[in-house]
Amino acid sequence: MKNPNHAQIINNLYSHINEYANHNNINIESWINPYDNRNVDHDILDNKPIYGMIISGHFLNYISEKESLKDTIFIKTSVLNVMLKDTIFGYYVSGMVPIEENNVNTIIEKVLIESVEETELFEFLAESNINDNLQDKIETLIYYSDFEDVNSLDKLPVPVYPDEILFSSEHKLRHELGILWDKETLGIYSHELHHNDEVAMTLFKESVKKCTITGQYIVKLPFNDKKPLLVDNIRMCFARARQHQAAMIDKPLYKNQFEKALDILLKEKYIEKVNMNEQVKGPIVYLPYKGVVRDNHPTTKCRIVMDASAKPNINAISLNQALYTGPNKIADIVMCLLRFMVGKYACISDIKQAFLRIWISLHDRDALRFLVPNNIFDMHSKMICYRYTSLVFGSVSSPFLLAAVLEKHITDNCNNNMVKNALLNNTYVDNISFSNDNEDKMCEFFNESNKVMESGSFQLRQWSSNSPKLMQLAKNDDVHNNDNIVKVLGIMWNIIDDCIFFNESLKWDKIYSKRSVLSTTNSVFDPMGYVSPVLMQNKLFLQRLWYLDFNWDKDFEDDGVLMQEWDQLLSNCETVVRNVTILREIIVDRNTEIHVFCDASSTSYGACIYILNPPINLDSKGNSKLVFAKGKIKPKNTVDNDNTIPKLELTAMLVGARLVGLIQSSLAIDKCNNVYLWSDALVVLQWLSSPDIDSAYVHRRVVAIREACPGAILMHVKSLDNPADIITRPVQVDKFIKNDLWWRGPNWLIEKKNNWPIQEVEYNLSPPLVNMQSININIAIVKEFEISFNFKDESIQTLLQISMVDRCIELRENSILNFFDTYDFTRSMRVLIYVFRLAHQTMFHKNLNKSFGNIYLSNLGQFEFAKLKAILIMQTECFSTEKLILDSGKNVSFGPCRGFGLRYDKLGVIRCTTKAVQLDPLNDLGPILVAPKHPFVMSYIYSLHYHSNCASKNYTLNRVRREIHGPGLKVMINQLVRRCLICKKHRARYLRFAYPRPKPLPIFRTKFLAPYVACGVDLAGPYKVIDGLSKIKVWITLFTCLVTRAIYLVLVKDLRASTFFRALKELSCRHSTPLLLLSDNATNFAATNKVLKIISQHIPEFEKSEGLTLQWKFIPVKAPWTGGVYERMIGNLKTNLDKMNFGQKINFEEFREHIYECERVINDRPLQQVGDKEVITPAMLLYGRKLGGGGTLSSTCVDNLLEDSKYLQKMLPQIYKDNI
């Protein structure tokens, strides 16, 4: 870094180092960059570029070469106390350095780099994932020596560090974002069980034990397969302990609270001193720690939290990484709160020191060691080593182990079903809640739950309730809480008024930054969404800051509009938090209904749910109450079609539908009770009522809504009466607090249904998509090879929707091939194979075999069978008239297919008789008759085009005509090639120029010669490929036959003349020896020509007279168009390579395979306009056959390969004679 202050520090530092070296006769050359063993001048700053950097975090872990500091140099003088550590960038200097300007000792750390570019350093930092802010905040690091004894680490100078550096801002940011995401997904997404969770649960069941004396449970830490990778991290723990000690010296109140918490742990035997001489069987891990102070907590003012995610270096792993997290067995906090609100009476309690009451197995305790200084005020006091005997705060596995132990204990020891269900469902970590309408049941729960928990050495305390009887029992046992306002799972509960409310004030650090906005928004804990309309504005503001590309810590205080808007949002939140109170009790009976209102706008969408107790008689009114609301902002999506308001309305309906299941299970509402889905969007109601939806986006969400709320009633509501509209619009805080539409729903909701809005159209949720396992399907194969489906339910006879291979396929009565995807033929064929496989396995498989003979069991295989079946279905659908004429034994003499010479083959497929078939006595097949606009045919044509490396229209037509033929085929191929996105990309040109008028072809282009006797040659490249661990450049030598227009490609690694000579030799060995070469004036070509002239001097005269010498023609300089015969092939080659590689870097062998594929495709291109006559290609002139296509349906019927070969040899001279 080039800050002048930093340079002054480096100058000052090195002046002291030089003085120290000169005074003690020390050669400092060995100190400076010994990594590359270069000699460096003494005065580094004058002669060499030095870059210094104030670093952040554990930078040494990234750059240190050796974990040991045996060779570390320590320099101690009256004004200097530093040490030098070898790193890959040179020596690392750390310690106390005086600055002359202000005459204070400043703790700095520098990386001194000799002869290393600054850009290389920052590239290294970027690759090392160092995310701390290097310029705004200086965090320091202690270096560790290689001493055996823990307390000998005190020999190193340890500076005083601020307490804030113990936890980086990056971790805090991840924590805030995690909180925001967790609150966004509450009630919508359920927790999934992964394989590692099952393994952790198995380990727990195998290891858990119960002490017969105390009743406490003993568990093992659920180590994963990374356990052997744990290393000794005592140095890091020692440094962090000194940092914590320095922080306590500056904060006496914090010191007292921490020592008190430590004394409690020792007194209760939750921790114990470690005998360093004792032999240890398990892993040894030292954990840094920090005290978390909670002034408002009634019992534990300071909790010691271990940093189990700390790593000694970048290559090591932390304890948390070596542990299974385990399944999430903690109850959903929203469900616990909802159950807490049902019933006249409620109570809350917590388990005393729940984590600490569970013991850790003796062999695993050494993985929970930590160091504490013996004397807090002495920075050089000895360290005392402790280890935990119980679960610790800060381990990823502790919540799982606590929940699993509680679940096992309650299940095994509680015989009262009511109490057992309440403890299992209403326990959130160490908090237990319960509610009921009967006060005697409340007392029963108090007595039974205490007995059950005491049998496991758990104690319930801090009982709070609005039940006088229960509180009297708690007072008798001295486990009561006298406060009238208590916290219930993050929400405040006023016991006297029986209402809930939020925290009294927001937590804002008075900084105008994106980080501060995120933290302040998260400080309002509203899991049930009661004030979500107000918080939505904060989220939208945060989204705006994101779109404006503000950094996390960049102030927007300079922007007066943003600052004023944020101040207003803060004021709104403060007002709502202080003034909103909600009655706790929710009344639920057998007639309770659930009403879901949904809405969306251009910026957000949301849903709110109300519980309605209908009126008992005509004169009375019902009771409704808001129980849950969820608002979400519209995502920044590049697909505009997915962000339309109707689709957002549908997404809001999906959110509400998923929340219905949460409400039903939490409030114990029978699923038979009525569920109403209200929306002001008619298009959404129409989608939900429609059995046939084309849009995949809409279809997936409609299916999810039907599955979440089967049998729900769809209702339309006006926007003015829709409470969900409040979520998606800016609100006025004063009106919002007293808005009955939000808190109780529309006024007419509590009246009789006759007074509800009249529904002009009746909307009904269609039956969910049919499940294949629940349908009785009868499949019959008829003469025309159509499939008919018969269902027990008549309402779905005409439509079958089957989900296969992650897509929805619609099989309609008119065709079962409409699902064919134009751009994915193989995937569509797999789906069709599944359908026929299902048909083959039914009771009608005998009819199937009868209809097709033994085709299914023949060598064609399932793919060819499905392809043949699709062709038969297509011909039945599109050529029914032609089939009737052919069945009657007549020829088709009218219509669009009158000139195709239609006939049946042995399999009943209609084929065309072309001129090529007439000339071939061995080929009795011919191309298959198809309808080009049929989905199956379009998909098949594009598949051939795509697998030919997206070749030209003529090439694709030539390739397709070999197998299929039909009216309008050429037009359809032209349209498909024009629509191909890959072809569009490579056809794009910035400028087009007029080509010069072509001259007559030279004599060597028209003279009859064997292939490759006359060649044009050029080089293409360079191309970068991967060879081993490095990237190399390769070139392609392209030989173009001047007669047949065929090409031959040779891959070379350099442009030397000797390399080209070997490529020429390869062409001679594989094909023919060139007698004429046409090329440009490249130096390697010229050099090779000189070598060949020297060689020709030694050739006998009779060989020269027979024309066996090579003649080399060079085109004019700076006239590349004269070599257009091979330049055009260079263009074709590059286009094909671009379509194959897409700009990706591949290895040498893969590139060679691509070269071979390009050669095959280019040599199989048509040399003339494609028509009825067989088209000539370069490959036919070389080999007498075409290269592309491989084995097709037609080629499988050729029986005598020997006769075929003789016939080709006979026809080859005729082909040369007719076309050259």
| Cis, peptide link before residue 1022, omega less than 30° from 0 | yes
Residues 6+ apart with CB under 8 A from 70: 146
User: CB–CB of 340/426 below 8 Å?
Assistant: yes
Of the candidate ranges 249-263, 700-714, 843-857, 1168-1182, the one whose mean pLDDT is the lowest: 843-857
Place 451 in a pLDDT band, splitting at 50, 70 and 90: very high
CATH entry, 1004-1168, from 3.65.10.10, 3.40.1410.10, 3.30.420.10, 3.40.50.360: 3.30.420.10
pLDDT of 1088 = 79
Give yes or no for residue 811 having a pLDDT over 90.
Answer: no
pLDDT of 47 = 36
Residue 427's DSSP bridge partners are 432
pLDDT of 518 = 85
Give yes or no for residue 157 having a pLDDT over 60.
Answer: no
Amino acid at 894: F
As assigned by CATH, the class of the 587-755 domain is alpha beta
User: How confident is the prediction for the chain on average, in pLDDT?
Assistant: 74
For the chain, helix (H) and strand (E) counts, in that order, are 38, 40
Q: Which residue has the higher pLDDT, 159 or 656?
A: 656
Place 549 in a pLDDT band, splitting at 50, 70 and 90: confident
Classified as helix, coil or strand, 1124 is: helix
pLDDT of 1083 = 80
User: Residue 1194's closest CA among 941, 925, 957?
Assistant: 925
| H-type alpha helices, 344-482 | 398-413, 417-425, 439-454, 468-476
pLDDT of 421 = 92
pLDDT of 841 = 59
Residue 273's DSSP bridge partners are 386
Q: What is the rounded distance in angstroms from the CA atom of residue 124 to the CA atom of residue 110? A: 16
Place 748 in a pLDDT band, splitting at 50, 70 and 90: very high
Place 724 in a pLDDT band, splitting at 50, 70 and 90: very high
Q: Which residue has the higher pLDDT, 22 or 320?
A: 320
pLDDT of 773 = 37
Give yes or no for residue 820 having a pLDDT over 90.
Answer: no
Q: What is the rounded distance in angstroms from the CA atom of residue 775 to the CA atom of residue 1039? A: 63
Place 437 in a pLDDT band, splitting at 50, 70 and 90: very high
Q: Where in the chain is the domain with CATH 3.30.420.10?
A: 587-755, 1004-1168
Give yes or no for residue 118 having a pLDDT over 70.
Answer: no
Give yes or no for residue 1074 having a pLDDT over 70.
Answer: yes
Of the candidate ranges 16-25, 297-306, 900-909, the one whose mean pLDDT is the lowest: 16-25
User: Residue 120's closest CA among 71, 66, 63, 160?
Assistant: 63
Of the candidate ranges 63-77, 299-313, 624-638, the one whose mean pLDDT is the lowest: 63-77
pLDDT of 599 = 95
pLDDT of 69 = 41
pLDDT of 102 = 35
Q: Average pLDDT of 665-693? A: 87
Q: Which residue has the higher pLDDT, 938 or 747?
A: 747
pLDDT tens per residue, range 686-712? 999 887 777 888 888 998 999 898 889
pLDDT tens per residue, range 160-211? 333 333 344 445 555 555 555 455 555 555 555 577 888 999 999 999 999 8
pLDDT tens per residue, range 624-667? 999 999 999 888 764 555 678 899 999 999 999 999 988 988 88
pLDDT of 772 = 36
Token code pair at residue 82: 């530093």
Q: What is the rounded distance in angstroms from the CA atom of residue 611 to the CA atom of residue 625? A: 5
Handedness of CA 483, 488, 489, 491 (dihedral sign): negative
Q: Average pLDDT of 1094-1113? A: 64
Q: What is the rounded distance in angstroms from the CA atom of residue 893 to the CA atom of residue 891? A: 6
Query: Which percentage of the chain shows pLDDT scores above 90?
Result: 26
Give yes or no for residue 1080 having a pLDDT over 80.
Answer: yes
pLDDT of 24 = 57
Place 864 in a pLDDT band, splitting at 50, 70 and 90: confident
pLDDT tens per residue, range 557-598? 888 888 899 999 999 998 998 899 999 999 998 889 999 999
- From residue 180, how far is each of 124, 634, 1023 by CA, in Å? 33, 15, 48
User: CB–CB of 388/368 below 8 Å?
Assistant: yes
Q: Average pLDDT of 368-396? A: 91
Query: Which percentage of the chain shows pLDDT scores above 70?
Result: 69
Give yes or no for residue 512 having a pLDDT over 90.
Answer: no
pLDDT of 332 = 80
Place 852 in a pLDDT band, splitting at 50, 70 and 90: very low
pLDDT of 1163 = 84
pLDDT of 642 = 60
Classified as helix, coil or strand, 737 is: helix
pLDDT of 1134 = 84
pLDDT of 998 = 67
Place 289 in a pLDDT band, splitting at 50, 70 and 90: very high
Q: Which residue has the higher pLDDT, 1172 or 876?
A: 876
User: CB–CB of 1097/1035 below 8 Å?
Assistant: no
Classified as helix, coil or strand, 477 is: coil
Q: Which residue has the higher pLDDT, 1108 or 985?
A: 985
For residue 1121, the surrounding DSSP H or E stretch is none
Interaxial angle between packed helices 953-961 and 935-947, expressed in degrees from 0 to 180 and rounded to the nearest 10: 120
Interaxial angle between packed helices 696-708 and 645-666, expressed in degrees from 0 to 180 and rounded to the nearest 10: 20
Q: Which residue has the higher pLDDT, 95 or 1011?
A: 1011
pLDDT of 877 = 82
Q: Average pLDDT of 941-950? A: 79
pLDDT tens per residue, range 1146-1203? 888 888 888 888 888 888 887 766 655 667 788 877 776 666 554 443 443 444 555 5
58 C-beta neighbours (distance < 10 Å), count: 21
Give yes or no for residue 812 having a pLDDT over 60.
Answer: no
Place 327 in a pLDDT band, splitting at 50, 70 and 90: confident
pLDDT of 137 = 27
Q: What is the rounded distance in angstroms from the CA atom of residue 1196 to the CA atom of residue 785? A: 23
